[in-house]
Structure 1
Amino acid sequence: MLSRADSGSVEPRLRESVIAPEVDDRGDFRVHVFSSAEELLSMRQDEWVGKPKPYPAMYSSVFGGIILDPAMMVIPIDDHMVHRGHGVFDTAVIFDGYLYELDVHLARFLRSAAKAKITSPFPQPTLRSILIQLTAASNCRKGALRYWLSAGPGDFLLSPAGCPKSAFYAVVIDHNLSQCKEGVKVITSTIPMKSPLFATMKNVNYLPNVLSQMEAEEKGASSSIWVDEEGYIAEGPNVNVAFVTREKELILPFFDKILSGCTALRLLELAPKLVEQGRLKDVRTGNLTVDEAKGAAEMMFVGSTLPILPIISWDEEPIGDGHVGELTMALSDLLWEDMVSGPETQRLLVPYS
């Protein structure tokens, strides 16, 4: 039986049954009906007592402000992004109190929104201001800032015509970023990759990405590599991939069928420094077959929160000598130094109170 204490608070037995309903031999269980919003909120808030908060702040245009209580970090169930996947997103890194490449990510974010036919409820300068204020309110010095544009809440139909206004959400994710120095294993994904229209748009339809990642984990690998229908290397589930050939060329796949990663583009800007030092022969984008890629001397993932992750094995075969490559780490150092002390055009100081 479900019971309530005289004070109106949820008793421990009730609280446990709400979180994990008791099931009898027939598979039946009794579902609790919350008597008020206050009762539900109290239970959700109690779940966070004494625990670290991985999401110290959220912004919601539906609420019209910044939320610091994780129990209230919610999205309406009738939001078109929730039930139809009609939304786009992007991420910027928070490092030592700076936002790294926020403007570059925000520009790509709005390009994705245009492709998805979503009109922002705010102009770009306002979105930027909201994200800076959100980061400041979170008091987070290291982590990620992720944000979404949705067609908005309204109804459960296929068309967004019943959604009166688009919605903007953002959340700060507390995460202690550190340079990746250990190599990982990857596999070739058997999950079909997205068509170019959807692959080049950073939208929330990530089921192929999820299944590709799960496939890798099921096979004991860290992640996977997509190969396009022409047999050329594409990308990872949520990162770009790069190669250093035995001739010391840095090559990233063309971005015509995959997402143009902001960090990958920044790497292409920074890597010529190694050419000037005589450590690399060339830096370019181009097509690579699977055989050419597997024959590379070094291989790596490139992404915002990495920014470089060395790859030492692919389909159980070693890349190069099977160890983290010297040039991989040199490229990682370039990006890491850019995050730590790069130009003001790349790093935005957060005005914490």
Structure 2
Amino acid sequence: MTSSSPRPFLWLNNDLLPADGPALTAQDRGVLLGDGLFETMQLRNRQVPLLEAHLARMEEGCRILRLPAPNRETVQAALDRLIAANNLTDGSVRMTLSRGTGPRGLTPPAKPHTTLLITTAPPSEQSATPVRLHVSTQRRDRQAVLNRVKSISALPAILARMEAREKGADDALWLTHEGEIAEATAASFLALLDGQIVTPPLSAGILPGISRGRLLSAGLCKERSLTEADIPKLQGAWLVTALSLTPVAAIGTQELPLQPEQTSRLRHFLHDGQ
């Protein structure tokens, strides 16, 4: 059974604080400039089962963005205290790391003092019902450095999601300038093509998703370049994140089979086998 305290807490830098009170300063570069990274992780039985993988990805993002990475032992201790304070058994955890405060302007301080914010949430009551995707008019630059990190600068994804909603879809599917399928606004893309589950390669300018990587390592999917011309040939598709696997019912006007047996198999591996 999952429960939460009447007044939930968050973790900020070195301490627990009430989640409904003021926390970040007005000078924090994460707030002002989107200068930072985040990880969203699954919480099961009061533990984050894939914490090491998420921390490794954040550390790589810190290397790319020239940010001091958080200490792993410090993060684990903070998680233990926060999960206990919120009396949460299952749900999700979001860890946000910004460059902290700095002088006015774009140039960061020579020695940043990062801000580490950790929050929790109970399990979502929304079921992973099939979604419809709109092919975004935005195009993904395969060489953009932010493709490789979970940046808190989310405006392109927000605008793409808004465009999709205006078209009557639930989410957007990004293509590269070369016409390759990349990913959705906040999820990796899987497809069933020629009887094989495939996912676009990292060279398509996508985030190295944790769940995507697990499926590849287990041999449950393979990397394959996909283009918009492949959409009518797809025998099924899914969006996958650390928290969910969602079938795709349609891409644009192309309806897709839902493949319930494949969905069940993938969900079991991703969420029941941890």
TM-score after normalising by structure 1:
0.71
RMSD in angstroms over aligned alpha carbons? 2.2
Alignment match, 1:291 = 229
Deviations 1:273-295 (A, max 9, x none): xxxxxxxxxx3102111122331
| Correspondence list, 1:268-283, <5 A | 268-272=216-220, 283=221
Larger-Rg structure: 1
Alignment match, 1:135 = 83
Alignment match, 1:90 = 39
Equivalent residues of 2:150, 2:207 under 8 A apart? yes
Alignment match, 1:15 = none
Alignment match, 1:39 = none
Alignment match, 1:124 = 72
Structure 1 residues 288 and 54 mapped into 2: Cα distance closer, same or farther (>3 Å)?
farther
Structure 1 residues 314 and 53 mapped into 2: Cα distance closer, same or farther (>3 Å)?
farther
1:183 equivalenced with 2:130 (yes/no): yes
Structure 1 residues 264 and 224 mapped into 2: Cα distance closer, same or farther (>3 Å)?
same
1:109 equivalenced with 2:58 (yes/no): yes
Question: What's the offset of the Cα at 1:99?
Answer: 1.6
Unaligned runs of 5+ in 1: 1-51, 273-282, 343-353
Q: Counterpart of 1:89 in structure 2: which amino acid?
A: F
Structure 1 residues 53 and 228 mapped into 2: Cα distance closer, same or farther (>3 Å)?
farther
Deviations 1:240-277 (A, max 9, x none): 000111x21110100231101001111223454xxxxx
Equivalent residues of 2:5, 2:85 under 8 A apart? no
Percent identity reads 23
Alignment match, 2:11 = 59
Distance in 2, Cα, partners of 1:177 & 1:304 = 16
Q: Counterpart of 1:123 in structure 2: which amino acid?
A: N
TM-score after normalising by structure 2:
0.90
Deviations 1:197-219 (A, max 9, x none): 11111111110000111111111
Local SS of the residue matching 1:147: strand
Equivalent residues of 1:54, 1:175 under 8 A apart? no
Unaligned runs of 5+ in 2: none
| Correspondence list, 1:166-205, <5 A | 166-176=114-124, 180=128, 182-193=129-140, 195-205=143-153
Equivalent residues of 1:225, 1:233 under 8 A apart? yes
Question: What's the offset of the Cα at 1:223?
Answer: 0.5
Equivalent residues of 2:139, 2:177 under 8 A apart? no
Structure 1 residues 285 and 70 mapped into 2: Cα distance closer, same or farther (>3 Å)?
same
Q: Counterpart of 2:23 in structure 1: which amino acid?
A: V
Distance in 2, Cα, partners of 1:72 & 1:158 = 28
Distance in 1, Cα, partners of 2:6 & 2:40 = 16
